[in-house]
Amino acid sequence: MIYTGNSKNLKIDPYEECPCDSGKKFKFCCYQEARKVKHNGYKTPDYSDSRINHMVHKTWEDTDFKVCLGFEKENCNGDIKNAHSLQNNRILNRISVNNHLYKFSFKVNKTGPVGYFQKISKNKASAFFGFCDYHDTELFKPIELHDYDNTELQNFLFAFRSHSLEYHLKLRKLEMQKEVFKLNPSMMLDESGVYVYKVAKLDVEDCAKNHEMFKIDYLNGDYSKIKTIHRKLDYEVPFATCTSFAVNKDLNGNIINDIYSTDEEDMPSVYLNVYPIENGTNIIISYHENDERFYKTYFTQLEQLDNDELTEYMNFLIIEYTENVFFNIDFIENLESKSKESLLESFQSSVNLLMKFDLIDTGNYYNFNLFQDVDQSSVSL
């Protein structure tokens, strides 16, 4: 999250609910403690980098939780599974090598987070505790058991699953920031800390609104409100993603959503899935009709792009907006070092302005192409 330092209201209101979840107002809860710590100066513990890294990752792991985001709760049945947002058999199999993939990850040390490509087991890729056994199996049958055919129901389900994954993630991020406040209460009086907290809270509220939208459509059996562009490429890309996010600017550079703002405005999402199939790749991008005033023009612009223009733009969009992207191991390992560095740093630059300027300066900003034919790229070695 980029804190640009020019946002308004970067304070926790005294009569706002305290971030510690006590149910009390901030003024009558953690405020005094926060002031005391701020006044005395927070002493950063002198831990080793590996201990800091371990602590941050442990805190993040602890935010994980199980929920079923399915509708008609009376049908919930079975354990909450670590369900895949990208299909294990159909999609992840296609990009994994010896059952492994790469994803973006961070090591955290005293100077902050440092990105790297982490090798993970295919079984852990893109999985989250967002559905009970029943809903995970039943709800998604039309996209799990059938090839994509651009039906309204399939488009609805792809969008809904991207939304659910992000909703779960956003709830965890809010929890993470609350943990940071517990560790260092003075952060509750710190602009950058409050900024992260407010954005996380607004993200969760936006997701909750979107969830209601999906729910109403689903209960009405009306899948026509998800507006979708589908493109099929005639080659297999070496990655897959399932994600949703609010787009900042349209293709002409006009602001769609002020994503850095902490004002309480709606921040509607687009839903994006890109994944390889046999001898091809599906790109499925959608928005909800209720958000037409935000996205109609943007989608018209996207529709007018030919495949080359669209993939060039997607190359940017995916890396700028999501961490839920999984790469073929050979693809990453065979990337020329400059492209590999560009991929990793362009990803990090979405939350690090200085890095972004550096990359632009050195001409290495988005200097890579994810939309390569996997076979071609391995043949060329």
**Residues near Zn ion (CB under 5 A):** 18, 20, 22, 29-30, 68, 70, 76, 132, 135
Largest Cα span, the chain: 66
Angle at 192 between CA 186 and CA 197, to 5 degrees: 80
- Using the 8-state DSSP alphabet, how is residue 126 labeled? T
**Residue 68 beta carbon to Zn ion: minimum distance, rounded to whole angstroms:** 3
**Residue 185 beta carbon to Zn ion: minimum distance, rounded to whole angstroms:** 9
**Residue 226 beta carbon to Zn ion: minimum distance, rounded to whole angstroms:** 21
Rounded to an integer, what distance in angstroms lies between the CA atom of residue 102 and that of residue 116? 10
Rounded to an integer, what distance in angstroms lies between the CA atom of residue 13 and that of residue 25? 9
- Encoded amino acid at 309, one letter: E
Kindly tell me which of 68 and 284 has the beta carbon lying closer to Zn ion: 68
Kindly tell me which of 30 and 285 has the beta carbon lying closer to Zn ion: 30
**Residue 45 beta carbon to Zn ion: minimum distance, rounded to whole angstroms:** 22
Kindly tell me which of 76 and 114 has the beta carbon lying closer to Zn ion: 76
Kindly tell me which of 108 and 180 has the beta carbon lying closer to Zn ion: 180
**Residue 179 beta carbon to Zn ion: minimum distance, rounded to whole angstroms:** 13
Is residue 303 packed enough to be buried (19+ CB in 10 Å), middle (13-18) or exposed (0-12)? exposed
Angle at 337 between CA 358 and CA 320, to 5 degrees: 50
Kindly tell me which of 20 and 108 has the beta carbon lying closer to Zn ion: 20
Kindly tell me which of 15 and 337 has the beta carbon lying closer to Zn ion: 15
Neighbouring C-beta atoms of residue 361, cutoff 10 Å? 9
**Residue 30 beta carbon to Zn ion: minimum distance, rounded to whole angstroms:** 3
- Encoded amino acid at 305, one letter: L
How far, in Å, are 94, 280, 282, 328 from residue 276 at the CA level?
A: 7, 6, 6, 11
